[in-house]
Amino acid sequence: MIVEDEFGKMYTLSENNQAVVMLAKQSDSFIFVQQYRRTVNDYVIQLPGGMVEAGEDLEVAVRREFLEEVGGQCGAIQYLGSLTPASWISNVVTHVLVVSHKF
């Protein structure tokens, strides 16, 4: 839902506001993905991740997003913590995890 405050500033509020982002290692390198993002009308380079589906466990979301974005299975998962990366415009809480790429 998009709301506007008394000063005309727009905010995005999501009922399902949980996301994951992964610091995914493969050997001595981190994995990044390139995706088109309509909000900036361009391709961006970013860490793999995405929204957690309603009722979905974080580990399940990490494994699903890793498969969708990297095309493989992830190994061990380590939870680092959470942050609200764009709190000035959105209520999305992003959980940060470290994962290893499983061959």
Residue 47: partners with Cβ closer than 8 Å, 6 or more residues away: 21, 22, 23, 24, 30, 31, 32, 33
Per the model's pLDDT, the better-predicted residue between 61 and 90 turns out to be: 61
C-alpha to C-alpha distances, 1 to 11, 13, 37, 101, nearest whole angstrom: 8, 5, 19, 35
At residue 65, does pLDDT exceed 80?
yes
At residue 29, does pLDDT exceed 90?
no
- pTM to 2 decimals? 0.81
Confidence of residue 99 (pLDDT cuts 50, 70, 90): very high
